Structure 1
């Protein structure tokens, strides 16, 4: 877009001449007949620079400059006057003028000075945008994604995080809603305060009120001391209410009061306690539908839904699958002390074809399993779960229950022995299925006493 320059002068002939000249230099030029009109124009529209006369009938240039700088201190203002005096120059510069020009104007000097002022504006905007991008990326480095839906989400996040707005994070299970909530907190003025996470679905209704608001000693059986609730723990920080759609209507009413009044009442107490918290809630339910069907309070919905951040499902951001898969591979390879470089083309193709109903969490689990079972530098489709790799790879998919107290060596041993048994002792076929050399297979079988 062309830079916008506002020219302010009560000499209509001079004003028209300057507008024509500045347009000829490739800029947009708009006109104002005096300082009062200039102040009004700056308040209603963004300009990249101002060129303003000092002596004008209704409101002079110095007075207008002061008002404009109070409203927008960043805009460069070039002052021009027929009265070339050191005192006028000092007064203009002291009031915040970018530079000072004398009439009759030297048009070459004007063009150079205007270009310099506009470069100043452009560099400031570029620096601001760069800082914003840096702030966004430093908010939560674990948010991985270059797809369009993720860029739109992160752009929205960067705008919302620095505010005090209540945020509702929506999206399917496994999309990373908690990660987004943490990013909002990390990018807010409350980032040095606590972030308190409450999984509303994990607590029985009888415990949730005490968990959120606290209780007095003796309030119920087992309450042997007074306890602060999560709202008080989050004072001067952020409280993240995960799975907010799971709470009962009775609990919804109490939560609504806490949000409206910014105070809580411990169970067993009639004394309210003021709290200063920012609220972020998350749900995988359609709360609008829940409201329509009478399961969620409409007034609470509107209190929570000030700003919505919708986290896209993984099938909506397939472009991010390779990035996420490689990230998880590197993390789990390091955790399991393995040297892995990446995925075979067939494995990556399988990852891209899968719909990922469990979203990023399902992908993470699939990659962890593949890393554990992989015996070579590249994960193949044989190490991926059957649902991901597809039915065509069933021959290479002996299933193993991972986790528990078993070591990585135990899982590897089970994979090799199950495959050698399945092939009837055929070492060549076993090596092919496992993606290892016969020498590696021989060494492992000897170690297991099967040679």
Structure 2
């Protein structure tokens, strides 16, 4: 081993204490050589001649890191990677291959690999990557302990819980954050997708740079391109001066595109080009502008289904879905509800200088609900009960779940508050549209909402098609 390479590796990567490493390769010489290099660094190393043997070892004893070849039979490196995370979620994995391709690298990182190295590799290069992976493992161990300093450092203070789904979520955040790849966050409304995006930004090398959130559903399709990419003076009626878009505002930082599934395919084509070429064109200009931006997108829709229905571009979906992160709904992590309730109540008490507390019976009542609105609904319930309770103790009667559901007069089935509100809004908007046919500005004025809000509601409630019928 070259002494200069070892010195260089020590300078570039953090020194690691003795770690347990598993080397998996069906080529005996390569496996033995890699193991020898790691043993010389002071690590405890085990060897496996294939994926099946590696899984048997992993089921019997813990390892901090697995280095595995990609091309093996019958279990290849990618399949082994998937299986490792089933039995040992925070074990780090580095894939080694002599057949390196961009596709396999992207797939490995998408599945959660810590790194990817192509054979033949220099020993110093391998040690740098090993050190980085072990540092990730150390941090993930701190996640397991939910150390306060770690949560503050990585912007995870508001991601509350210690259930298995939350631990897996935080593990994915920490794995994804250091890379420059795009991230697609999926989850139901109210689960906290923007919190996840902010945590990814806080844990990335761009942490000190801008984080720019854009709610794509809140901007009309005709304005979205201008808002995101900017426009030249005179590009359209009302463009009295040139304007930088939000994409440029996020320069060297992170652009968070929320509810991206609400955009049309024409906008999606322009976004795809920006991601591929690292440049944008302002509306009304032909000269491209180079941008250095990391994009994190989120949606509550099933984009795979949207691709099949031709509502979302397949090429953009695969470009965004390099690192997928799913935020679990509250019903899958009900064990976290007491922690979440305490967190929201503590925040309320701090804001209002009060000393409200939940009684045990009140907490039992909270646990009996299924929360279609997820964490956001729970937060609203806590604030409502804290505001309405007469004393310091919050009792079950302070939670009025009757407002959240009512029985249908026809069938007696339970209906959510959101359904009742939707019906009322749909009726009010349709009535106003009939009174002001073709004049949505007048409809918005009559209802006391902005034209943008009216457009969003009509799209969500499918009122345009209802009115036409």
TM-score by length of 1: 0.60
**1:345 maps to which residue?**
360
Q: Do 1:347 and 1:379's aligned partners in 2 also have CA atoms closer than 8 Å? A: yes
Is this contact kept in 2: 1:194–1:237, CA < 8 A? yes
Structure 1 residues 295 and 74: CA distance shift in structure 2, 3 A: closer
Q: Which residue of 1 aligns with 2:218?
A: 202
Partner of 2:177: 161
| Partners of 2:219 and 2:130 in 1: CA distance | 54
Offset of 1:39 from its aligned partner?
A: 8.0
2:21 and 2:276 map into 1 onto residues whose CA distance is 48
Contact kept in structure 2, 1:168 and 1:305, CA below 8 Å: yes
Deviation at 1:302, TM superposition (A): 0.4
Question: Is 2:379 aligned against 1:364?
Answer: yes
Does the residue aligned with 1:280 lie in a helix, a strand or coil?
strand
Alignment check: 8 A CA contact 1:181 1:280 kept: yes
Q: Which residue of 2 aligns with 1:433?
A: none
Matched pairs, number: 297
TM-score scaled by length of structure 2: 0.58
Matched, 1:270 2:255: no
Aligned partners of 1:344 and 1:379 also within 8 Å? yes
Aligned to 2:192: 176
Offset at residue 221 of structure 1 (A): 1.3
1:262–1:276 contact (8 Å) kept in structure 2: yes
Are the equivalent residues in 1 in contact too, given 2:359–2:395 (CA < 8 A)? yes
- The Cα shift of 1:49 comes to 4.4
Give the 4+ runs in structure 1 shifted more than 3 A: 27-30, 37-51, 67-71, 73-76, 123-137, 387-391
Query: 2:352 pairs with 310, 314, 336, which one?
Result: 336
Decide whether the 8 Å contact of 1:147 with 1:320 is kept in 2.
Answer: yes
Q: After superposition, what is the alpha-carbon deviation per residue over 1:289-308, rounded to whole angstroms, capped at 9, x for unaligned?
A: 01011111100100110011
Tell me how far apart the structure 2 counterparts of residues 46 and 290 of structure 1 sit (CA, whole Å).
49
* 2:346 matches 1:291: no
Q: Which of 382, 385, 391 is 2:397 aligned to?
A: 382
Could you tell me which runs of 5 or more consecutive residues in structure 1 were left unpaired when the two chains were aligned: 1-26, 31-36, 52-66, 77-122, 392-451
| Distance change (3 Å), C-alpha of 1:265 and 1:74 | closer
Distance 1:44-1:212 versus aligned 2 partners, 3 A rule? farther
Question: For residues 74 and 308 of structure 1, what CA distance do their matches in structure 2 show?
Answer: 23
Secondary structure of the 1:72 match is: helix
Cα pair distance change 1:42/1:373, threshold 3 Å? farther
Aligned Cα root-mean-square deviation (Å): 3.1
1:223 and 1:390, CA in 2 relative to 1: closer, same or farther beyond 3 A? closer
